[in-house]
Amino acid sequence: MKKIILAHTQGFCAGVSNAVDVVNMALEKYGKPIYVRHQIVHNTWVIEDFEKKGVVFIENIGDVPNKSVVVFSAHGVSPGIYKEAQDKKIHVVDATCPLVKKIHRQANRYSDRKMPTILIGHKGHQELVGTSGYVDKEFLHIVEDVHDVDKLEIDENESVAFITQTTLSISDTSEIVDKLREKFPNLNKRPKNDICYATQNRQDAVLELAKESDVVVICGSPNSSNSNRLRETAEKCGTDAYIIDSEKEFEFEWIEGKSVLGISSGASVPRYIVDQLVARVRERYPLIGVSEGEDVEAGIQFPLPLV
């Protein structure tokens, strides 16, 4: 093993960075316990760290005492959850990513226009569950993969809208949208998808990385959609690719007889996870070189929500 290359763009995106800051600000302002609905971001270590500081993660608003402080995660929630919180006089700190909120507004507009709306994403993923709540049930259709397009029961001559989850694979999503266009000549004309800049940049960076590496390792938790898509993106290039939640899961046999190890991480992964992996590889290969290109997202920030 001669070299480690770190993907030039990886780790926390602006939405995740805000969500983490917001929980810290809420802890500082209100003291513990702070409740957070759903995992604030899909990363084991971020969650464990917050639990140690006095954050309680819950799935149901019913499990929170009246008048407490609840942070909504970066993935967003449906309108029904805001209503439940209001009924319990809960102080809501909303860490929903602004890019997800934009999609919620778009979903609302389609339902106002009574358009059948196809949501492309992973059933059960928090973002999709939240966004579904902004589409009138009568008009909602969920598509997970290209085969689901054939099963859609919508009149082919209708004006049909589509929306995508922000963390999908760019190539798989294009395939689905192309198939939708074939089936529905009146599919709405809009950007190709709602995949966010962070997902796009991390997938682009991992494509470059996979071409230069013999093996790619992605740091990310098993439930992180965007991290799993990074592993698949590297694999589609024909490069062996693995996903690990921490450096302890790294297997040295993956790099036996190989020269270049590429490392990246999902948008919900703190940088220290990558640094710990590099340190572990360096213990075995003390002379190994490490290179990293320029982060294309340097300076991107979203305004922080009110706490």
CA 250, 252, 258, 260 torsion: positive or negative? positive
Question: Hey, which residues between 120 and 159 contact ligand SF4 (CB under 6 A)?
Answer: none
Look at residue 191 and give its three-state secondary structure.
Answer: coil
Q: Rg of the chain over CA atoms, in angstroms?
A: 21
Of 12-20, 48-56, 60-68, 291-299, the segment contacting ligand SF4 by CB under 6 A is: 12-20
Minimum CB–partner distance for residue 268 and ligand SF4 (Å):
8
Q: Measured from the CB atom, is 13 or 255 closer to ligand SF4? A: 13
Structure tokens at 265: 């991480």
Number of Cβ within 10 Å of residue 103's Cβ equals 22
Told to check if 69 binds ligand SF4 by CB under 6 A, we report: no
Minimum CB–partner distance for residue 306 and ligand SF4 (Å):
18
Told to check if 15 binds ligand SF4 by CB under 6 A, we report: yes
**Which one of the listed residues 84, 127, 144, 297 is annotated catalytic?**
127
Told to check if 13 binds ligand SF4 by CB under 6 A, we report: yes
Helix axes 197-212, 225-236, angle to 10 degrees: 30
Told to check if 198 binds ligand SF4 by CB under 6 A, we report: yes
Told to check if 218 binds ligand SF4 by CB under 6 A, we report: no
Query: Which amino acid is located at 259 in the chain?
Result: S
Q: Measured from the CB atom, is 136 or 232 closer to ligand SF4? A: 232
Structure tokens at 92: 């809501």
**Are 165 and 121 a contacting pair, CB within 8 Å?**
yes
> Which neighbouring-strand residues pair with 261?
4, 215
Contact residues for ligand SF4, defined by CB under 6 A: 13-16, 74, 97, 99-100, 166-167, 196, 198-199, 226, 267
Active site residues: 127
